[in-house]
Amino acid sequence: MAATFSASIAPWEQTLAQLAHQTKLDDLAAFAAVTLLSIAYGTKGILWSKPDPYRHKLFARPQQQPGAEARAQQTRDLAELLEQNSADVAILWASQSGTAERMASRLATELARHLGVRALLLDISDVDPATCAKVPESKLAIFMASTFGEGDPSDNLHEFWEWLHHASSTSLSGLRYLAFGLGNSNYKHYNLVIDSLADRLDAHGAKTLMPTGRADDAAGETEEHFLEWKEQVLALFQSRLGYQRREVSYEPSLQIVEDESLEPIDLHHGVPRDQSAGKATSTQSRVYALPVVQTRELFKDTNDRNCIHMELDLGEHAELKYKTGDHLGIWPINPTVEVERLLRVLGLQQRRAMPSHVKSTDNKPVKVPSPTTLDALFEHYLEICAPVSREAVALIAGFAPTEDAKAFLTKISRNKEAYAEYLGSGYVNLGRLLERACEGEAAWSALPLPLVVETLPAMQPRYYSISSSSVVQARRVAITAVVADTSLSASERVPGLATNYLLALRESSAQPALAHPYGLTYSLSVPHQPLQTSHVHAHVRKSTFKLPAVASTSIVMVGAGTGVAPFRAFVQERALLKTMGRDVGQTKLFFGCRNPEQDFIYADEFTKWQSQLGDSFSMTTALSRPHGDEKKRYVQDCIVEDAEAVCNLLIEENAYFYICGSAAMARGVSDAVAKILMSRQGWSETEMKEFMDRQKRQKRWMQDVWG
């Protein structure tokens, strides 16, 4: 019996042994294959598939500045950068719109020109924050930073900001520094960034050599405050650092060299620099030429005010996307009348289309693309409509064609009050200033062109809250813009640069075409022009101003004027979700305008969405200029009147709270909400602040405001 059983299992044992042997062979084969693949992957580019060292030339941009690749690969060690450039001072700028960067560049120029200081100008994001500890005490760091939004650092400051607030063990006892901030006192957290940066530097042991300077743009005095602080810096270098001040004549930092050999294809004709450099960051897209597919006037029965609704098509650019709540950056161009004025008074009409290289003479980055033409510079790349600083007026006075012109310019450049009075008396830009000082074609032909380019700021985009939902219309983006003109008198006005450009685009696309109400025209279609008629250069900038991830979460929105733009998108999106059967939370909107007959924008659309959302949507309108006996109210008044509902939403339902509009309005709304919450919850000011700070950290209290 046992023999029979043994005989019956023998074949099974043999089969199992064969399977085990085969498995070992398979394992060895697999191991060998993995090993070979690993060796092959590790030797890619060394033993095989060696890269072509010249392949990058296939993608090289002919407009790329020489040495840009080398600059991109330079060290981020601040001490090494100072040593490599034989510099005594590092000027580190943190800027959102470019103002701090421009002022940092001017400071570097002034230090070199008047004191012989070797100053190294640096984007603060190009520096490893920890290496500040290695800077010797014989050197000096100057930090120039802007505050935007509600106390937010600029995008290029984030790495340095995080390091300062979390590198608790690092000592900066050897670092000497100066600090200057740009802000707006209409905002609750005026110049918070530079104050916090200086506090953290001090906490790490750094030593400041003079009090922190602050510029306040609330009254348009950023330039004056910078000039005052700059003089204090120059005096410090003389009194404490042993430098001797010298009076010097103008020395150009640029060369403009004409080159007739260049073809139109070689030139920059107006494409914004961000796009020509292929620049795209984690916070913004590249710049694209987008067709205007729809425009309409939103104000009713007004002859002196315009509000534009404009929609741009993204369909030609599959990679360009936006999300509800993002911003759109519009790159404006200068009006033709101002371009012609400047060319005429400088005597440059015959050279306007001449191809030219713009080169730096002091190794600083050039703020405009090169090569290009004067037409492109004055239309697209320089803000020729910007006011001229007193500092620039003083330089221009040295080239005045007559004694009377020199006396006039010298007077307003040396006296702050005289300059302010002149600015307040009329619309002043460089072309108009030169005409006022000395009229006549080519009257200022002796004024160096490099000085003109140095004086004018580089063109910057203007940002608008997107007023459409990416869920509802993913390939079409909408913006809402009031034409922003500043009235100086009954007959004199300063036209808003970007909004009048948008108005001209709206008029040009109308059928039949309409005339611009102020007679402004723009070169919307000329030879080699990068824009077709009814196209605009624009890019998307990401924002944290977002709807809750869950649609059933309640929200409270407060906006005045065009501050309602992102809330149009929010309500549009929630109305669609509701029609799809989704559960939508309470959606409460407070909207401020003058009166419903004139500027209650999007009234018909909100009425339609009210019918779709039903009881989940409520809208309260505050009228600042009502008709008849109706009481004047602002949005903060409406919040106080509806205190019970607002408190219930914010406390009981933990609703998201949004404010969009002017900084002054936002401050009033925040104070009103704080007042009613403290009263109803019995909170102290400390408890109220803790609540608001917690909500902001959790992204449940968000503001999108401007000065």
At 468, the pLDDT band (50, 70, 90 cuts) reads: very high
Q: For residue 222, what are the domain limits?
A: 75-239
The 8-class DSSP code of residue 284 comes to B
**pLDDT of 68 above 60:** no
| Per-residue confidence (pLDDT) for residue 707, from 0 to 100 | 65
Continuous segment of H or E residues that includes residue 222: helix 222-239
What is the predicted pLDDT for the residue at 511? 56
Give domain status of residue 48, yes or no.
no
In this structure, how many other beta carbons lie within 10 angstroms of the beta carbon of residue 596? Answer: 13
Contact in structure between 575 and 471 (CB atoms under 8 Å): no
The two tokens of residue 259 are 């080159």
Q: Residue 154 maps to which CATH number?
A: 3.40.50.360
Binning pLDDT at 50, 70 and 90, where does residue 494 land? confident
Decide if 357 is inside a domain: no
Classified as helix, coil or strand, 41 is helix
- Decide if 640 is inside a domain: yes
Query: Do 454 and 253 contact (CB within 8 A), yes or no?
Result: yes
Looking at residue 220, what is its pLDDT?
A: 79
The label of the residue with tokens 């009234």 reads 603
Mean pLDDT computed over 382-396? 93
d(CA 589, CA 414): 50
Q: Does 501 fall in a domain?
A: no
Report yes or no on 414 lying in a domain: no
CATH code for the domain in which residue 662 is found? 3.40.50.80
> For residues 483 and 432, is the Cβ–Cβ distance under 8 A?
no
Top-confidence residue, 636 or 151: 636
pLDDT tens-digit readout, 3-50: 443 444 444 455 445 545 554 555 555 555 555 555 555 554 444 444
Per-residue pLDDT, 687: 96
Mean pLDDT over the full length of the chain: 86
State the burial class of residue 313 (Cβ atoms within 10 Å of its Cβ: 0-12, 13-18, 19+): middle
Q: How confident is the model at residue 499 (pLDDT cuts 50, 70, 90)?
A: very high
Find how far residue 36's CA is from the centre of its chain.
51
pLDDT number for residue 52: 44
Residue 294 lies in a domain: no
The confidence score (pLDDT) of residue 35 equals 58
The CA distances from residue 436 to 184, 341, 402, 431, in Å, are 31, 12, 12, 9
Overall average pLDDT of the 265-286 stretch: 75
Grouping H, G, I as helix, E, B as strand and the rest as coil, residue 494 is: strand
Total tally of structural domains belonging to the chain: 2
**pLDDT for position 196:** 94
Q: Which residues have CB under 8 Å from 33's CB, separation 6+?
A: none
Where does the pLDDT of residue 66 fall: very low under 50, low under 70, confident under 90, or very high at 90 and above?
Answer: very low
**Mean pLDDT, rounded, for 422-442:** 91
Sheet strands (E) in 631-696: 656-662
Radius of gyration for the chain, computed over Cα atoms and rounded to the nearest angstrom: 31
Q: Considering the domain boundaries, does residue 524 fall inside one? A: no
Of 239, 259, 283, at which residue does a domain stop? 239
In this predicted model, which residue has the larger pLDDT, 589 or 363? 589
Centroid of chain to Cα 663: 17
**Which of 189, 207, 239 is the last residue before a domain boundary?**
239
**CA angle 274-280-284, nearest 5°?**
95
pLDDT tens for residues 53-63?
Answer: 433 333 333 33
In terms of pLDDT, which residue wins out, 367 or 8? 367
Residue at 500 is within a domain: no
pLDDT at position 626 is 86
Chosen domain end from 220, 239, 258: 239
